[in-house]
Amino acid sequence: MFRILFVQPCIPPNTGNAIRLAANTGSELHLVEPLGFDLSDAQVKRAGLDYHEMAHVTVHRDLDAAWEALDPTTVYAFTAHASRFYTDVAYSPGDVLMFGPEPTGLSDEMLADPHVTDRLRIPMLPERRSHNLANSATLAVYEAWRQHGFDGAV
């Protein structure tokens, strides 16, 4: 399946929702430290409901450790500063869908990382800053999964 990468997430419920997303889609969730919360935080647990045990979640000490563990072929970095839409690419299982911290998003340095193979955006109206992190990950994962016929879904 697909691999969701949250770099230094700050808002506990977003990560809780992503845990639930990972459990419901068979995706992996990778979190890069520092996290803005502890995974035992009540808000993380509340948002993730009883899906924590069904999700594959890995915490990495930094982005270099994540790259070493993931050994990615394709990394899509999601940013409001990209010109291509998230629906303009053909996803493959194992692709990494990379998202930055709330509220700043991925830094220029992270976007320039040599592992990043493409930058994608989720459309929104002008004069808006960003989408919610968990909602963005959901849109991306479901588009990628849709392209593969929702393989394994009921």
- All domains of the chain, ordered by start, with CATH? 3-146 (3.40.1280.10)
Determine the pLDDT at residue 130: 86
Residue 22 CA to residue 71 CA, distance in Å, equals 19
C-alpha dist (Å) from residue 106 to 56, 81, 102, 116, 130? 23, 10, 9, 11, 12
Name the burial class of residue 5, with classes exposed (0-12), middle (13-18) and buried (19+) by CB atoms within 10 angstroms of its CB. buried
**Numbered residues of the known binding site for S-adenosyl-L-methionine:** 100, 122, 130
Asked whether 85 and 107 are in contact (CB, 8 A), the reply is: no
| DSSP symbols for 11-41 | -HHHHHHHHHHHHHHT-EEEEESSPSS-TT-
Cα Rg for the chain, rounded, in angstroms? 14
Sheet holding 96-99, edge to edge: 56-60, 28-32, 3-7, 96-99, 75-78, 118-121, 84-85
pLDDT below 70 — which residues of the chain? 47-49
Q: Looking at the DSSP assignment, which residues form a beta bridge with residue 36?
A: none
Q: Which residue numbers belong to the known binding site?
A: 100, 122, 130
Helical H runs in 26-80? 42-48, 63-70
pTM for this prediction:
0.94
**Can you give the pLDDT at residue 75?**
98
> What pLDDT is stored for residue 38 in this prediction?
87
Query: End-to-end CA distance of the chain, in Å?
Result: 15
Q: Tell me, what amino acid is at 66?
A: A
